[in-house]
Chain A
Amino acid sequence: MKENNNTLVKLENTGLQVDKKWLVKGVSFEVQRGKIVTLIGPNGSGKTTTAKLALGIHKNIEGKVHKFTDKIGYVPQKISIDWTLPLRVSDFMLLTENLTNNEIDTALDLTGVEHLKNNDLRNLSGGEFQRVLIARAIAKKPDLLVLDEPVQGVDFKGEIALYELIKKISEKLGCGILLISHDLHVVMSATDYVVCLNGHVCCSGTPQAVANDSKYKELFGDRASTILSIYEHDHDHTHSTDGTIETKK
């Protein structure tokens, strides 16, 4: 059934209709091993729905979704944990995968929240919780990472560090990433393929191609296409979560 050994998930003309209203329609793209595919688009354009279609969360969908892996790490856009659950960070890390203590520590360390390991999950701040969510998703060394606005609520410095981490992880694990982000800077600089949604695929291709597409300019404004040029430069250092400078290795 595999047509390309590197394809992890492939959407063919998929869509979802709820109460006679199309949330998203006619979406086709694929995520390959080692590649980052980003979904962009205005609010309500069907980004989260598309991610959930790729994950197989929605039933009764239009079109076809082919999944070629079961090792998936998911960082949802919204998640509410019921306070009736006594749940520490370390329990949450083990939610869908059996991990060793070492693997848990490493993952939490990568996202800068190792010190929170034994904390109660509901006592975390929004940004801390987001870091734990990312750590959980990468700890299981997935083939496919689906990240729905993974850095929401994370401070500005941390945001850049986390995006760099995500990029590093995709290179190290060789996993494919489906990313939803509002941050056009990041999208344009760290992505292999961009799908611009607005209820349907409005345009798609490499960041350069999308940035120059007239439909993209229409949707995001002329300034959006200049972002690419702003961001095409390199940093010689990074910051850890407490702000100290780390020279790039």
Chain B
Amino acid sequence: MFDDFFIRALTAGLGLAFITGPLGCFVIWRRLSFFAGTLAHSALLGVTLAFSFDINISFSVLLVSSAIALILLRLQKTTKLPGDALLGLLAHSSLAIGLVVIGFLSYIRFDIMGLLFGDILAVNKKDLLVIWVGGAIILLILKIIWKPLFASTVNYELAEAEGMQPEKVNIIFTILMAAIIAISIKMVGILLITGMLIIPAAMARNLANNPQQMVVLSIIGGILAVLVGLFSSMQFNSASGPSIITAALLLFILSFLKINKLRQLKK
């Protein structure tokens, strides 16, 4: 019934949902939505560098995004600018540099739309391997640092005082964020990875009353978004990446309706 490429797209999307679910919860809890966007923007620079030096895209995106993330952590400590101003500074300047470099690479045919929105239908077997193996590693590391990371999310000083080493786990978490962007850029692109991180987790927040529950719901939401998005893109011949995000948005709206209904029932 399905063509092979569709199965691949499904497998890739589902793998992505498993990783963005838990990471997305931390993005919401730590108010990092804009941070995820900044990393995604800096990924463009990573891609252009990959083309310039003919290296693996995921690898160079991981390098550039990690570098930008670590620069941000450093700047937060040493300047008096608020976090969102620093994020804006890094997001737009790395995007601009990326575009300038693309201009110099006129000899390469460059699919900017592909970079911005990704093409999940074009993933090959090697990409699948990167997503599932890379994703498994990301989730494993997240599980190991879960307790200190969560403690420092709730309260940094409390975590520091009680020996949870928040600074160390912050850096690890930041690199995990760069990694998820690196492995997913080809599928959903720069603009949509932030959506995949935030929207299912936001939906889960509407329904959950404890952290574990929110993570599980966030993963389920991501899976549903991928399934609904991909099947409807097949049905209506719509762009697949944006269809996934639209499906996620619909789930978010549904979760709102459910809350209001529950409130009415309580009354």
Contact = CB atoms under 8 A, between A and B. Distances in A.
B28 to A, nearest CB: 6
Contacts of B159: 95-96
Contacts of A95: 150-151, 154, 158-159
Contacts of B208: 86
A151 to B, nearest CB: 18
Contacts of B160: 55-57
A57 B214 contact: no
Interface string B129-168: 0000000000000000001001101110111111110000
B80 to A, nearest CB: 10
A236 interface: no
A52 B160 CA distance: 10
Contacts of A163: none
B31 A73 contact: no
Interface of B: 28-29, 31, 147, 150-151, 153-155, 157-164, 205, 208-211, 213-214
- Which of under 10, 10 to 19, 20 to 34, or 35 or more describes the interface residues of A? 20 to 34
Contacts of B28: 84
B155, B162, B164, most chain A CB atoms within 10 A: B162
Contact of A74 (B31, B147, B162, B210): B162
B128 to A, nearest CB: 33
Nearest to A74: B161
Given A76-B161, A85-B154, A86-B209, 11 more contacts: A52-B161, A56-B160, A57-B160, A74-B162, A82-B29, A84-B28, A85-B29, A86-B210, A86-B211, A95-B158, A96-B163
Contacts of A79: 155, 158
Contact of B162 (A73, A81, A87): A73
A87 B31 contact: no
A132 to B, nearest CB: 13
A96 B210 contact: no
A70 B165 CA distance: 12
Nearest to B77: A59
Interface in A95-122: 95-97, 120
A106 to B, nearest CB: 19
Contacts of A91: 210-211
A84 B209 CA distance: 11
A88 B209 contact: yes
A9 B119 CA distance: 57
A206 B62 CA distance: 58
A87 B211 CA distance: 6
Contact of A84 (B31, B147, B213): B31
B161 A55 contact: yes
Contacts of A82: 29, 31, 154
A79 B154 CA distance: 9
A3 B161 CA distance: 23
A70 B213 CA distance: 30
Nearest to A69: B163
